[in-house]
């Protein structure tokens, strides 16, 4: 049992508040990703769980035991750092076994654990090499292997892929997903990369400005963001936001009038929706270049050809930028006048405080 429970955890450095009453319940075996911009507190929160930072207020429980007052070596967690933290003068085998030797683990058990972890990570042929003889991806596997041999209750990974090149990041991300599937351990992974979060996480914890904005599965966070911040941070390219001229009730649903008098019928309930200072939100894939001349008019500013799809950056009548999608073989050029059809069923509305309003799930 390796569930992790945080109860109103706060952290301050002197007068500076870094985390403010953060609470969550991580189930045993989950792959949780802390996602957010630099400075939001995600790495500090991970270090608090590991015991590398003291808790200013609140409680941390691991496997039913309160651990926030225990030293790091008694918490039953293993941390994988961004910079690998391998001993350069030791072989891979020695790096992986060093922690076990320090706690007096029998030699035969050390050999068994190291060999098993090396087999799992496909680095058995590297055990006699030193870190300088390894690639970045191989060093990352060794760092993960060093954590695995400790047989921890939870793995804590602090941006472990950020030092890898693009191609290696993709491969290592896949290896991490496969590793979690095999060992079914509780993992917490910190990143500011939404692709890593969307492809790895059981659930994503989106953080911003010292607090949690939303906790949900990748598709919950993407399709039903709780706030405008989440909607803007998750998704590439980001969600389109257009100021609302007015909203009216059509059959209990909000009909939104946008700049240029374009009207979009949404699935968002009208009752309870604030009547002014609203913002209309829609993902680029739900804003398609119209083939029949219907929809909002925009002037093409930039065209991004991505192979399977084309992103078309357009300027609306009020100067707002709207990103739409077209087919991968699109012939649209900068300067063209186009019509954009908006899928109102996929749209959402945000109030002036950034709260999101959605249609029925």
Looking at residue 171, its pLDDT comes to 80
Number of other CB atoms surrounding residue 151 within 10 Å: 13
Confidence band, pLDDT 50/70/90 cuts, at residue 1: low
Cross-strand partners of 327: 309
Q: What is the pTM assigned to this prediction? A: 0.88
Rounded distance between C-alpha atoms, residue 127 and residue 115, angstroms: 9
Residue 266 pLDDT exceeds 90:
yes
CATH at residue 93: 3.40.50.300
Q: Which of 211, 231, 251 delimits the end of a domain? A: 231
Structure-block tokens of residue 225: 């963001």
Looking at the fold, whether 196 and 249 belong to one and the same domain comes out as no
Contact 283, 361 (CB under 8 A): no
Looking at the fold, whether 207 and 81 belong to one and the same domain comes out as yes
The number of distinct structural domains making up the chain is 2
Q: Which of 38-42, 114-118, 226-230 has the highest mean pLDDT?
A: 226-230
Looking at residue 203, its pLDDT comes to 97
Looking at the fold, whether 23 and 127 belong to one and the same domain comes out as yes
DSSP 238: P
How confident is the model over 113-136, as a mean pLDDT? 89
How confident is the model over 107-116, as a mean pLDDT? 91
Looking at residue 144, its pLDDT comes to 85
Q: Which of 231, 260, 292 delimits the end of a domain? A: 231
Rounded distance between C-alpha atoms, residue 281 and residue 267, angstroms: 12
How confident is the model over 253-279, as a mean pLDDT? 89
DSSP string, 76-128: TEEEE-TT----TTS-HHHHHHHHHHHTT--HHHHHHHHHHHHHHHT-GGGTT
Looking at the fold, whether 14 and 127 belong to one and the same domain comes out as yes
CATH at residue 350: 2.40.50.140
Confidence band, pLDDT 50/70/90 cuts, at residue 179: confident
Looking at residue 284, its pLDDT comes to 95
For 4, phi then psi, to 5°, come to -125, 130
Confidence band, pLDDT 50/70/90 cuts, at residue 57: very high
Looking at the fold, whether 53 and 200 belong to one and the same domain comes out as yes
Rounded distance between C-alpha atoms, residue 348 and residue 240, angstroms: 10
> Which residues contact residue 276 at a Cβ distance below 8 angstroms, ignoring those fewer than 6 apart?
none
Looking at the fold, whether 48 and 145 belong to one and the same domain comes out as yes
CA dist list (Å): 55 to 10, 44, 78, 81, 166? 7, 10, 18, 20, 35
Structure-block tokens of residue 118: 């090396």
Looking at residue 224, its pLDDT comes to 95
Looking at the fold, whether 226 and 253 belong to one and the same domain comes out as no
Range of the domain at 189: 4-231
Q: Is the peptide bond before 171 cis (omega within 30 degrees of 0)?
A: no
Looking at the fold, whether 105 and 143 belong to one and the same domain comes out as yes
Looking at the fold, whether 196 and 81 belong to one and the same domain comes out as yes
Which tens digit of pLDDT belongs to each residue from 280-318?
Answer: 999 999 999 988 877 889 999 999 999 889 999 999 888
Rounded distance between C-alpha atoms, residue 139 and residue 282, angstroms: 41
Q: Which of 185, 205, 231 delimits the end of a domain? A: 231
């Amino acid at each position: 049992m390796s569930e992790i429970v945080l109860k109103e955890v706060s952290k301050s450095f002197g007068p500076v508040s870094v985390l403010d009453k953060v609470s969550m319940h991580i189930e045993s075996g989950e792959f949780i990703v802390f996602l957010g911009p630099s400075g939001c507190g995600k790495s500090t929160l991970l270090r608090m769980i590991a015991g590398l930072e003291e808790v200013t207020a609140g409680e941390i429980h691991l496997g039913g035991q309160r651990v926030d007052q225990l030293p790091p070596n008694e918490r039953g967690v293993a941390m994988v750092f961004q910079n690998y933290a391998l001993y350069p003068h030791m072989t891979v085998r020695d790096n992986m076994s060093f922690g076990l030797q320090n706690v007096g683990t029998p030699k035969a058990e050390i050999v068994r654990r190291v060999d098993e972890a090396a087999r799992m990570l496909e680095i058995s042929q590297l055990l006699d090499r030193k870190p300088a003889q390894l690639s970045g991806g191989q060093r990352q596997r060794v760092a993960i292997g060093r954590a695995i041999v400790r047989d921890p209750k939870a793995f804590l990974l602090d941006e472990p892929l950020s030092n890898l090149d693009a191609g290696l990041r993709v491969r290592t991300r896949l290896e991490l997903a496969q590793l979690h599937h095999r060992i079914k351990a509780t993992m917490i992974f910190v990143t500011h990369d939404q692709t890593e979060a969307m492809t790895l996480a059981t659930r994503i914890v989106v953080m911003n400005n010292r607090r949690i904005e939303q906790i949900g599965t990748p598709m919950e966070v993407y399709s039903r963001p709780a706030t405008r911040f989440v909607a803007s941070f998750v998704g590439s390219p980001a969600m389109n936001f257009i100021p609302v001229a007015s909203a009216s009730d059509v059959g209990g649903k909000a009909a939104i009038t946008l700049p240029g008098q374009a009207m979009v019928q949404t699935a968002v309930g009208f009752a309870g929706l604030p009547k002014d200072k609203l913002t209309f939100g829609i993902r680029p894939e739900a804003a398609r270049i119209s083939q029949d001349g219907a929809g909002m008019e925009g002037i093409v500013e930039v065209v991004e050809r991505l192979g399977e799809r084309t992103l078309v950056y357009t300027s609306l009548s009020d100067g707002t930028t709207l990103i739409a999608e077209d087919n991968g073989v699109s012939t649209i050029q900068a300067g063209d006048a186009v019509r954009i059809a908006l899928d109102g069923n996929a749209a959402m509305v945000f109030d002036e405080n950034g709260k999101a309003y959605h249609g029925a799930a």
